[in-house]
Every structure is written in structure tokens, then in C-alpha cells.
Amino acid sequence: MYTKKSIKHTVLAAFLAASVISGGTGCRKHDSVPVRDGRDVLIESLQKKYGETFTFVENAGGGTAMTEHCAIFVRPEKLPDDTVYAVRGVFDGKTENRDNYMAFYLRKDAESYLKAVAEEVYGECRVFYAPDEMMVLPADMGKETDAEKMLQASKCSFSVLLPAGQDMSQKDRKLDELFEKLKGKGIRCYLYVAYSDDSRAYDLAESAADIDKAHILAECSLGMDDDFNITDKKWG
């Protein structure tokens, strides 16, 4: 005949045995939840943030959503010729998803802004802007962000092509003046300035890579770090 005490012991033993069989916890529901890849998490984050479709291009760092780092390249639906860099990582002690989409989205506005700055120094000129493909912007930057704020939070390649007939005797002074204007506005960049000797070559250039070096009288590359210290300045 079973007593209440023996029944209690029997039930307890059965529960412990079941716990051992299931892994010692009695509940392992979380084991059935698959670990999601960081690639999927990043793409979903981009689509939610910007309201458009992004297509995976390739990995740029690996990892999964359960780790602290994952980096990928994606192609935006509205900018099919551009490749956006997206990262899940720890920034200022906080895990966030960041990307450089707005640097491409605001390309024309950024180029217009930089052209206005260059014109204050040189007058007529052509300006070409290219985002740094491996940088990311703060997580709070979205489609409401303007070009100036985006430029202040990023780094880019900023090229200035000058037409034939420019006075080159002031080239150092004007380069310094342009640098100081950029510094005053908080814009860090890789700066390239070139003096052309041919109107047709000047007109035909569509990007910094398109500048015909056979028609360049003088050119200078200027680099700066995050504190606006000049890291490179060389005329050629």
C-alpha cells in the first residue's frame, strides 16, 4: 500500500529522470529556435529603416546575428549601381547595425554642397564626390538627414578640377584656404585638386577617374585624419 510520502517520492524521481533525459533542465524549448544569420538580420534592418529592398552581394566580415560582428555588401533597389556596406558591431559599447547607404543616397546633394565650398576659393570648377566604401555612418542617420550632416559624420573623396587659364602661382595658398574651409565645417575627406590645360578635357571629365592626366598641369593630393591633421600633401 502506497503512502502519501512514497507517492511524493515516486513522482519526484520520475520528474528528475525526465529532466536528465531532456538535458537536465526540464525545459529546452530554446534549443529548437534556429540561430539566425547576421546577413539576414542586417538586410531586414536596412529594409525596415529605408523602406526599400536590398539584395545581398557578398560577405565582408562573416559572423552571425548571435556574435558581435558581421559585415556584408548589399545592393539597394533604388541605387542599383551602388554597393552599400553594412555592419553589425559594437560601437561606443553598444551593439548596433550601421551602414553607409546615406552617403550614396545623398551623392548629388553632397557634390553640390562641396562644389559651393570649392567655388568660394577657386571660382569656376568641377567637383566630384565619392563616398568611402568601407566606412559606416551613425545609426540615427536616415532619409531625413541632410548632406552637410552626413558629410560631417563620414569621410569621402573630394576632387576639384580647375579649367584652363587658372593662375597657379597661388595654388598653395588656395589649397590651404580650401582645407581651412573644410575644417571649419567639420568635413574630413581625401582631397584632390587638379589644374587643367584643356577646355575639352575639362568638360568631358565625368568623375575623378575620368580626368585626363595628359592635360593636367599640376595636381595635389591632400589627406587628413579625424582631428584634421594633414597626413599627406604632395604636388605632382
Quick: pLDDT tens for 19-52. 333 344 333 344 555 566 778 889 999 999 999 9
Tell me the C-alpha distance between 167 and 220, whole Å: 15
Per-residue pLDDT band for 2 (boundaries 50, 70, 90) equals very low
Percent of the chain clearing pLDDT 90 (strictly above): 73
pLDDT of residue 35: 61
Determine phi and psi for 140, rounding to 5 degrees.
-85, 5
> Do residues 73 and 83 lie in contact, with contact meaning Cβ atoms separated by under 8 Å?
yes
Tell me the C-alpha distance between 188 and 177, whole Å: 15
pLDDT of residue 62: 67
Which pTM value belongs to this model? 0.82
Tell me the C-alpha distance between 56 and 189, whole Å: 28
Residues 6+ apart with CB under 8 A from 222: 175, 179, 190, 191, 192, 193, 230, 232, 233
Report the mean per-residue pLDDT for the chain.
Answer: 86
Express each pLDDT in 111-163 by its tens digit: 999 999 999 999 999 999 999 999 999 999 999 999 999 999 999 999 999 99
- All domains of the chain in start order, with CATH: 38-99 (3.10.450), 103-235 (no CATH)
